[in-house]
Structure 1
């Protein structure tokens, strides 16, 4: 088939529910990302540093962590997996052989470029596009698998991600326990071996990094760099992006991302993401997922609060981590809740409201980096570290309203969001009609 005859998905072929879900997810992602834009890195995970352990600031930390932490990225990853399957399936119907794979891989390579742009130009260090580009390429091999195989593969990823999240804390626990025992020895009578000195040094390093004084120093250094010049900001955020895209990707996100992408592919084939499952199925997902997930989140947060977010004290006790498990069931619970609202038709207006946002999810995601960077970074308004934790959610509300109005207004005139159009042109390697009046 002539590649020039291949066209992207038309409006009549779109699954509007998936668009609405993407819109909800991209707005939800900002709720979890806003602390990264606005607060010093150490303060994001430790509200005790700035006296945020009570009142509005504490709840602004606690409620998102209890209910939403990781679940919005999980929903977005599921929808990405479904989107990969949908795109690859439609390509397969239009052409055979290497041409379909070439177009798909070109799509992923351009997504990787956009991820690098978000990370190293817009300087958003929690960018996920880079990860989605790499993991999405791997998903191409799973496009023909049955839902059972996809769910089984997701369970394998779940196992490895849980091992990964516990591996370093377990090693640190051993270091702390051994180091405390060595520290009690009378070194005037017993000389330490080189191995014991190394363990003692590692233990002391963990303890010093966990102290509030050391964290507050990192907070001040972070504020100075982010409010400074573009060069200072670049050095700080690009370093974090590099860690996220190397060790972070291959140590943790490869399992984390694939887990939900594979579930998304399975749920799409099973009709769960397209609203075809029974209302009973969604109610079970909602009730079981949220009740178990929030309970697990409570027990995850409880030792952190009990030990005033001191990592040394927590690893000394050897608490097992189950962030990933709580995240999976909470994400399924939130998906179930959204789908219950969809199936009962009481919130049809709600899904209609979010469809344009989802059709422009790529644009809106990058726009969040641009807007929040302008508001908080020193090259813009420089509000980094100046707002209280609860106040940063006023910014979230403002961005939501702006993107909601923009998405509806833009799609009255244009066929695609601006970044969606650019991505499509680069994927198919030719220009496509942009304004609606250009469509035959």
Structure 2
């Protein structure tokens, strides 16, 4: 059986990369900690409005789409590997290890906002669910969604010492990232922290529970793949329309959480709203895909999605070159509105370049490296398993015996 790529899934992956780029531009331009203390950068009223728009409509709602698609792709990969008669879990383990290696290299030598290492690590957790039924995956995903949403309750009050340390770190980061050399920026990224020792322990505790907080979307994606969803977009339109209702609901919840950010319920509203909004985006995009799948725009999304790993890393290379001192040194200077425009330009270029690239090559360079490590073959192809029975049968036929 030949497993073909699902066009809508590739297009959705391209959409998620577009949103991830817009959200990551907050980090590229202001830093992981600086983006939460935006008052340090004296934004204009227009830029403040643009900043809040990104916080509501984009941040935290496109990475879950990629998470959903990661779970979906795992099941499609499992189906493909089973059809070739190879050891499924061995191939998956190698794939997850390769993602972790690429993530470590990305986070060490390019940028602190890497997510690939976590995805690779999360893959080992998802091995527990690859053979579960669709209903089981939905039950587990729903249960974890309810439990982890409740964990967001409460407001953390920052101490004076913590606030001073964070402020000092943001000021230092702003100077280093804007003016320093590559090695100086790398040293700052690896050795400086805005956290006190006790908060670093708390952060470690949060990271331990992170897989459970992100698991629902992974599991929902796996369930969708087992249910063959997105393979027949025209026949599934009514379900897309139902799902699209989550879009305004998610936007409303996130808007309230941003407006009343000190409220005890804001964290829960943000967590729930972000994930509901991501599902709403998936449904709304799918509705548009049915009517415009052959348009140049959707073809562009599809091309970017097919080269998702390469395009994700290229976004880092392009943006760090623009904002960091060893490039144009525009860290903290571009402004939010111009940042959004920059994101549109970068993604448009990626659409064009990806489309042209795929006319000459089947896979992106990093996708090919990932396949080499996963399949243990230089051409990236899966080596089909040959059984002794098949070999002996072939010999008997050649010898004229049954």
Q: Is this a same-fold pair by TM over 0.5?
A: yes
Distance 1:207 1:259 in 2: 36
Match of 1:218 in 2: 169
Alignment correspondent of 2:124:
137
Q: Which runs of structure 2 are paired with 1:336-347 in the superposition (5 Å)?
A: 336-343=283-290, 345-347=291-293
Contact 1:300–1:321 at 8 Å: present in 2 too?
yes
Match of 1:102 among 66, 90, 104: 90
Matched, 1:353 2:300: yes
Q: Equivalent of 2:71, from 81, 102, 109? A: 81
Tell me how far 1:42 sits from its aligned partner.
Answer: 4.0
Deviation per residue, 1:242-287 (Å, 9 max, x gap): 979x828734531233221111111222333334563221111112
Instruction: Supply the distance in 1 between the matched residues of 2:265 and 2:42 (Cα, whole angstroms).
Output: 25
**Match status 1:366 vs 2:313:** yes
Q: TM-score, normalised by structure 1?
A: 0.77
331, 338, 342: which one aligns with 2:278: 331
- Once the two structures are TM-superposed, the CA of residue 394 in structure 1 deviates from its matched residue by 2.8
Alignment of 1:94-243 (within 5 A): 94-95=84-85, 99-122=87-110, 124-166=111-153, 169=155, 172=156, 206-207=159-160, 209-210=162-163, 216-227=167-178, 228-238=180-190
Aligned to 1:44: 35
Please name the residue that 2:243 is paired with. 285
Q: CA deviation at 1:208?
A: 5.2
Whole-angstrom CA distance in 2 between matches of 1:386 and 1:52: 10
Give the conservation status (yes or no) of the 8 Å contact 2:300–2:354: no
Structure 1: distance between partners of 2:94 and 2:109: 22
Partner of 1:403: 350
CA distance in structure 2 between the partners assigned to 1:24 and 1:285 by the alignment: 17
CA contact (8 A) 1:275 1:339 kept: no
Residue 10 (structure 2) aligned to one of 7, 10, 19: 19
Q: 1:356 to 1:320 in 2, by over 3 A?
A: closer
2:49 maps to which residue?
59
CA distance in 1 between counterparts of 2:142 and 2:310 reads 32
- The CA distance in 2 between the partners of 1:421 and 1:18, in whole Å, is 19
Residues 73, 248 of structure 1: alpha-carbon distance in 2 compared, 3 angstrom cutoff: farther
* Contact 1:161–1:252 (8 Å) recurs in 2: no
Contact 1:135–1:257, Cα closer than 8 Å, also in 2: no
* Cα distance in 2, alignment partners of residues 394 and 151 from structure 1: 38
Partner of 1:266: 223
Deviation at 1:236, TM superposition (A): 3.3
Partner SS state of residue 414, structure 1: coil
Preserved CA contact (<8 Å) 2:323 2:331: yes
Query: For residues 272 and 352 of structure 2, what CA distance do their matches in structure 1 show?
Result: 36
CA distance in 2, matches of 1:402, 1:14: 23
- For structure 2, the residue ranges without an aligned partner over 5 or more in a row are 382-402
Q: What CA deviation, in whole Å up to 9, does each residue of 1:88-130 have, x standing for no partner?
A: 121122225xx322122111111110010110011x2221110
CA distance in 1 between partners of 2:113 and 2:283 (Å): 27
Change (3 A) 1:142 1:324: same
Secondary structure of the 1:92 match is: helix
In 2, the alpha carbon distance for the partners of 1:275 and 1:43 equals 44
Q: CA deviation at 1:238?
A: 3.3
Aligned-residue CA RMSD (Å): 2.8
Tell me the residue number matched to 1:391.
338
Write the deviation string for residues 346-370 of structure 1: whole angstroms up to 9, x where unpaired. Answer: 4531322222111111100011111
Q: Please state whether the residue corresponding to 1:321 is helix, strand or coil.
A: helix
Question: Aligned with 2:8: secondary structure?
Answer: helix
Unaligned runs of 5+ in 1: 1-8, 174-204, 305-313, 435-440
What CA distance in whole angstroms lies between the structure 1 residues aligned with 2:254 and 2:380? 47
Number of paired residues?
Answer: 371
Aligned to 2:392: none
Residue aligned with 1:413, SS? coil
Question: Do the aligned residues in 2 keep the contact of 1:264 with 1:273 (CA within 8 Å)?
Answer: no
